[in-house]
Amino acid sequence: MFEIINTLTENDIKEEFVAIGSCIDGEGNAYHSVLIIRYKGESFQFHYTGNPSIGILFENTVYSSCFHKITDTINPRLIPAFIAMCKRVMKTATPRYGYFYSGEYYDNSGNHFSDKEVGETMTCAGFCINILKGFLENDYIYYQDWTSESHPTEGYLDFYCSKYSIDKDKIAESHRRISPIELLCSGFFSNLPIRKVQIDCKIDEVQDYLKNY
């Protein structure tokens, strides 16, 4: 059995776990990051939708297009504490969608900490990283391996700064994209922080599997 499985239709090797999940489109491309929690016979999906009218969801339903890889960074005995943290974040978090990450995190009380001008700005993958870093009290991913070139959309930074009246020089260093497929592949590693070169060595294998599933 491949270590990445369909969350809804397949049984994993463990009965209780926290996993890195991703929703897959009809062509097998990962487009949305989620955290999957399996506890006491139930599966939960925790994620930042990116939609300001919906925000963050903690659901006991899972998308049929979701695939996951268990992360060995979280001991199953700590799942109740992890769930409690997720629910506290639900009450306090007010993320704004944007392609930025510079080591921010949510703590166990649900508070967001950032020493960068960009503040509580993130993608769906960045939200998962914020959660994992806060719970593990350690950088989950060595985010410095990703530069602004990881999000090559022309004019994005200028557009974002203009929209929110932000000085570009103050947030340019935070501009990067860690993609859903990259985050999914991070689940194969447990020594923190996980490096981009490690993730890169799994991407082709995982993409081929998902496209041919």
CATH of the domain at 38: 3.90.1720
Q: Would you say residue 1 has pLDDT above 70?
A: no
Task: Check residue 2 and give its pLDDT.
Answer: 81
Task: Check residue 112 and give its pLDDT.
Answer: 97
| Structural domains in the chain (count) | 1
For residue 156, give the 3-state DSSP assignment.
helix
DSSP state of 114: -
Beta strands in 71-154 (DSSP E): 96-97, 105-106, 112-113, 121-122
Q: Per-residue pLDDT averaged across 74-89, rounded?
A: 98
| Residues 126 and 178 sit within 8 Å (Cβ to Cβ) | yes
Q: Structural domain of residue 183, as residue ranges?
A: 5-211
Q: Per-residue pLDDT averaged across 142-168, rounded?
A: 94
Q: What is the pTM of this model?
A: 0.96
Q: What is the pLDDT of residues 173-191, one digit of tens each?
A: 999 999 999 999 999 999 9
- Beta strands 30-39 and 17-24 are antiparallel
